[in-house]
Amino acid sequence: MYSYDKGAHLFLPSYVMRIHGAKQQREAIKRTTKKQLQLVFEALDTLGNTKWRVNKRVLSVVDRIWNNGGRLADLVDRSDVPLPERPETEDEALLKKWKWKLDSVKKENRERHSRRCDTELKIAVARKMKNEEGFYYPHNLDFRGRAYPMHPYLNHLGSDLCRGILEFAEGRPLGKSGLRWLKIHLANLFACGVDKLSHEGRIAFTENHLDDIIDSADKPLEGKRWWLHAEDPFQCLAVCINLTEALRSSSPETYLSHIPIHQDGSCNGLQHYAALGRDKVGRCCWEKPTDVYSGIATRVLDIMRRDAQEDPEVFPDALHARLLISQVDRKLVKQTVMTSVYGVTYIGARDQIKRRLKERGLTDNSEIFGCSCYAAKVTLTALGEMFEAARSIMNWLGECAKIIASENEPVRWTTPLGLPVVQPYRKLGRRVVSSITFAEA
């Protein structure tokens, strides 16, 4: 029998929604009848009835890389970074620089440890399940109604490692359309600009690299390692193996494939705002994907080139602009553009860009901080200039939320599937709790 607190796992108590202690959301979902939630339950059943299995060939490659110390295909290095030695000097400037470096290395080692633990968990689950004919993922919802697998470690919405290791347990003949989409999927996973080509352009890319694809499938670590250059290497390797087997079969179109073909929108948040604002240009279908991130990056670069011409004595950010001109691309601004529609703050944007700069090898922390502050400010300015209508709608929704909050009420709505949603974010006042002091004790 279905209800808000019955379903999914057989023996583990679970809820249809992850409320994280939000009392009003829990009460709203409890008051909703089974009939009202019927479509929600059916959708979760459909997702939960999908049978998965472990791709043993990809897992074998993962094991070999991991046992040899990681470092390949975005797997974390299993060794720590050596701590820098203290310089034999009393120069305060040099000691300060050493302390910055020491703190940075310690932070990197803590992050590596965390990532190693996460990777070990995922690989351990995959090893445990590799001989199973198939297994299922019960799903539940977050407070907005987005469905997620309830298993936290190895699932098909996880990292590239998880997605590369998992495949459908029940195969389907590719057919003419499936073979075409398998080639498109490989190009999408390779990325590096290839995923911005037309569908025919992506198919041509795959067909032009058949030798590399076959080499990757036959000799993933001993050959040319072409698959390692992909943006999603383990998923790319899985498709290389699958496509190679299909092409070697007597009839590629009747070959049983188990590969999930992922499809995703581009900057969905802005597309939603385009729909809300009846923006036909933002919602048009194009032969090639239009890249919002590259457009923003171009505008950011224009602003920085202009600022770089200024006198640093009058405009200190001119120095930051000169340093950043060679760093500006879509990847630098992508995360900030994506999260802008979710209300990213200046501080959030600064931290996002700071991480991108560190990934590119910039090591001077004071320089990174100044550049990331400036880049965040310029990126948000470019967003406001290019998406004025979206900003207007966001501001209007923000004003609505302020009015509702002024009445001490949360923002709430009901989705088209009948799911009640209560916005859980709220600012709680400080409470003083009396306790026994040491003197009293």
Q: Which of 375, 393, 411 is the last residue of a domain?
A: 393
Tens digit of each residue's pLDDT (9 = 90 or more) over 49-98: 999 999 999 999 999 999 999 999 999 999 999 999 998 888 888 899 99
Asked which of 264, 283, 315 is the last residue of a domain, the reply is 264
**Phi, psi (deg, nearest 5) at residue 296:** -65, -45
Same domain, 4 and 29: yes
Does residue 51 sit in helix, strand or coil? strand
Domain CATH for 319: 1.10.150.20
Whether 25 contacts 411, CB under 8 Å: no
Same domain, 35 and 128: yes
How high is the pLDDT of residue 9? Answer: 81
- Indicate whether 284 pLDDT > 60: no
Alpha carbon dihedral 206, 210, 215, 217, in 10-degree steps, equals 60
CA–CA gap between residue 138 and residue 10 (Å, rounded): 10
Within 10 angstroms of residue 400's Cβ, the number of other Cβ atoms is 11
Q: How confident is residue 290, by pLDDT bands cut at 50, 70 and 90?
A: low
pLDDT value at residue 280: 58
pLDDT, residue 431, reads: 66
Q: How far apart are CA 77 and CA 25, in angstroms?
A: 42
Distance, CA of 321 to CA of 100 (rounded, Å): 24
115, 76 contact by CB (below 8 A): yes
Same domain for 314 and 330?
yes
Task: Judge if 9 and 151 occupy the same domain.
Answer: yes
Contact between 329 and 295 under an 8 Å Cβ cutoff? The reply is no
Say how far apart CA 28 and CA 42 lie, in whole Å.
Answer: 20
Please tell me whether residues 54 and 106 are part of one structural domain: yes
Confidence (pLDDT) at 430: 65
- Output the pLDDT for position 289: 63
Is position 345 within any domain?
Answer: yes
**Residues 16, 136: one domain?**
yes
Q: Are residues 235 and 129 in the same domain?
A: no
Q: Using one digit for the tens of pLDDT, what is the confidence trace for 237-280?
A: 999 999 999 999 999 999 999 999 988 777 777 778 877 877 65
Residue 429 confidence (pLDDT): 62
- Token pair, residue 150, equals 């309830």
Range of the domain at 58: 1-158
Within a domain: residue 418? no
Tell me the pLDDT of the chain averaged across its residues: 88
- Phi and psi (nearest 5°) for 157? -105, 10
Sign of CA dihedral 407, 412, 413, 414: negative
Cα separation, 312 vs 15, whole angstroms:
58
Structure tokens at 111: 């992050």
Is pLDDT at 147 greater than 80 in this prediction?
yes
H helix and E strand count, the chain: 17, 9
Task: Verify that 3 and 148 share a domain, yes or no.
Answer: yes
* Tokens representing residue 2 in the block: 């279905």
Q: How many CB atoms lie within 10 A of CB 368?
A: 19
Instruction: Please count the residues of the chain.
Output: 441
Calpha distance 2→267 (Å, rounded): 35
Q: Do 114 and 16 have their domain in common?
A: yes
Q: Confirm whether 315 is domain-assigned.
A: yes
Domain count, the chain: 3
* Span 199-245, pLDDT tens digits: 899 999 999 999 999 999 999 999 999 999 999 999 999 999 999 99
CATH of the domain at 189: 1.10.287.280
374 secondary structure, DSSP code: H
| Residue 122 maps to a domain | yes
Which residue's entry shows tokens 């070990």?
120
Considering 95, 123, 158, which residue would you say is the last residue of a domain? Answer: 158
> Are 109 and 193 members of one domain?
no
| 300 within a domain of the structure (yes/no) | yes
Spatial neighbors of 147 by CB under 8 A, at least 6 apart, are 43, 44, 47, 139, 140, 141
Collapsed DSSP state (helix, strand, coil) of residue 93: helix
Q: Is residue 401 included in any domain, yes or no?
A: no
pLDDT at 438: 53
- Taking only the tens place, the pLDDT of each residue in 98-118 is 999 999 999 999 999 999 999
Same domain, 61 and 147: yes
What Rg value do the Cα atoms of the chain yield, rounded? 26
In a domain, 430, yes or no: no
Based on the fold, state whether residues 153 and 22 are members of the same structural domain.
yes
